[in-house]
């Protein structure tokens, strides 16, 4: 990353130059680009998003868990950031639903984390349930489950519904989305980004934000790499699902199961999401027999009834990973380009806080001498310069 400035690509083009006035151009229309756009629009600015391929976004592939506790995110910046984001979720999704008129599937269902061996720290944990308590909390678990942790404040959102609603809210608020338009390269002029070549245009703006997820290295040498995750979904037996309504007590699973080898995420319509593999295979797509076998074995072991449900879908996606598993947020080496990449396995959870803090950074940065206090100290832990010496 130390040579981030030197290796930025340059290219010439005869495409039409688009000089319309806009405050911000966001590259990438996944959940992070959309969340920043929403917040910037709510604060009265004008925004264009350049989106190569909306369905490609990891936001569609995710499980939608909002799980800072179950994920055991490390104390410090990441934990504070993720707890802050979780605390924003109820109001944030309500606002998106109100603006878009679409549901998001936000569900404060809690997360149960069963284990097969009692860990030493269990005796000290106020969230710990022993073998009997956990079977009472969730019937149908493998009898070999020795206990587990109950995190009532963790939850889930239906990430596919959420990104559709979020996109609709951005459009409703006057945001522009150039769908199917790919940014081919960034054109730098000294210390600034002067514009960008896309499939059909040369686009210009005062300020730019890079939110290109796992594909970020295609435009800038940021240390982001893809971590593939395979997923699948089953549907509870039709004689059960025909009588289901939201929050129905008939749902066999009433909370997320965050197991040691798998997670199982019940949606309110009877669909159950099972994830996920974690693979370093670059951008090699597809579901593999090995991946599907691994997911099914672990899920059936934890919650045996799964073996009787209908297998309805399988898919995969690419998490945008960094070496230290923290995102890269805020400044870049270029004065008018901001970075919002590398949310790895918690980008759905972190979306509201990312939108909020990135808007603070963009509109009230210390450089402009305004409202520095609105950005918490931990935000600096996500600065790209932490990689400058090592990459």
Residues engaged in binding ligand FAD (CB under 6 A) = 27-33, 50-54, 56-59, 61-65, 182-183, 211-215, 218-219, 229, 231, 275-276, 317-320, 341, 343-349
> CA-to-CA distance for 287 and 128, rounded, in angstroms?
35
Residue 145 or 219: which CB sits closer to ligand FAD? 219
For the bound state, the minimum distance from the C-beta of residue 89 to ligand FAD, rounded and expressed in Å, comes to: 11
For the bound state, the minimum distance from the C-beta of residue 92 to ligand FAD, rounded and expressed in Å, comes to: 13
Residue 149 or 215: which CB sits closer to ligand FAD? 215
Q: Count Cα neighbours of 248 within 13 Å in the Cβ-side half-sphere.
A: 15
- Reading the block at residue 109, the tokens are 């269902």
For the bound state, the minimum distance from the C-beta of residue 318 to ligand FAD, rounded and expressed in Å, comes to: 6
Residue 183 or 302: which CB sits closer to ligand FAD? 183
> CA-to-CA distance for 345 and 354, rounded, in angstroms?
14
Residue 147 or 178: which CB sits closer to ligand FAD? 178
> CA-to-CA distance for 142 and 368, rounded, in angstroms?
57
Query: How big is the CA angle at 304 (ends 299 and 307), to the nearest 5 degrees?
Result: 80
> CA-to-CA distance for 199 and 178, rounded, in angstroms?
11
For the bound state, the minimum distance from the C-beta of residue 369 to ligand FAD, rounded and expressed in Å, comes to: 30
For the bound state, the minimum distance from the C-beta of residue 73 to ligand FAD, rounded and expressed in Å, comes to: 11
Residue 20 or 367: which CB sits closer to ligand FAD? 20
For the bound state, the minimum distance from the C-beta of residue 134 to ligand FAD, rounded and expressed in Å, comes to: 22
Contact 207, 367 (CB under 8 A): no
Torsion over CA of 157, 162, 166 and 168, rounded to 10 degrees? -150
> Among all residues, whose Cβ is closest to ligand FAD?
30
Residue 97 or 279: which CB sits closer to ligand FAD? 279
> CA-to-CA distance for 343 and 327, rounded, in angstroms?
5
Burial label for 352, CB within 10 Å (0-12, 13-18, 19+), is buried
């Amino acid at each position: 990353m130390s040579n981030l400035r030197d290796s930025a690509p340059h290219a010439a083009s005869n495409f039409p130059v688009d000089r319309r006035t806009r405050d911000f151009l966001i590259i990438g229309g996944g959940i992070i680009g959309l969340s920043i756009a929403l917040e910037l629009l709510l604060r009265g600015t004008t925004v264009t998003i350049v989106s190569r391929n909306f369905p490609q976004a990891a936001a569609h592939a995710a499980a939608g868990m909002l799980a800072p506790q179950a994920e055991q995110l490390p104390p410090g910046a990441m934990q504070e950031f993720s707890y802050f984001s979780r605390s924003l979720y109820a109001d944030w999704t309500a606002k998106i639903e109100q603006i878009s008129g679409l549901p998001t599937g936000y569900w404060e269902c809690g997360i149960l984390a069963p284990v097969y061996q009692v860990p030493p720290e269990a005796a000290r944990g106020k969230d710990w349930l022993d073998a009997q308590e956990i079977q009472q909390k969730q019937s149908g678990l493998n009898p070999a489950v020795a206990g587990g942790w109950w995190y009532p404040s963790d939850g889930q959102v239906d990430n596919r519904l959420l990104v559709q609603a979020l996109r609709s809210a951005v459009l409703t608020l006057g945001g522009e989305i150039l769908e199917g338009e790919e940014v081919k390269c960034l054109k730098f002029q000294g210390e600034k980004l002067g514009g960008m070549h896309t499939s059909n245009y040369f686009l210009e703006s005062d300020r730019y934000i890079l939110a290109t997820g796992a594909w970020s290295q295609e435009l800038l040498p940021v240390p982001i790499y893809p971590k593939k995750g395979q997923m699948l979904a089953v549907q509870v037996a039709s004689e059960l699902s025909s009588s289901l309504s939201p929050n129905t007590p008939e749902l066999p699973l009433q909370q997320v199961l965050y197991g040691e080898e798998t997670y199982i995420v019940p949606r309110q319509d009877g669909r159950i999401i099972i994830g996920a593999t974690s693979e370093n295979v670059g951008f090699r797509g597809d579901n593999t027999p090995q991946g599907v076998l691994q997911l099914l074995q672990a899920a059936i072991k934890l919650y045996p009834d799964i073996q009787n449900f209908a297998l309805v879908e399988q898919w995969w996606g690419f998490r945008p990973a960094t070496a230290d598993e923290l995102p890269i947020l805020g400044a870049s080496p270029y004065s008018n380009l901001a970075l919002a990449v590398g949310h790895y396995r918690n980008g759905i959870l972190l979306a509201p806080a990312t939108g909020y803090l990135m808007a603070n950074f963009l509109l009230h940065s210390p450089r402009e001498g305004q409202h520095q206090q609105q950005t918490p100290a931990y935000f600096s832990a996500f600065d790209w310069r932490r990689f400058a010496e090592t990459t």
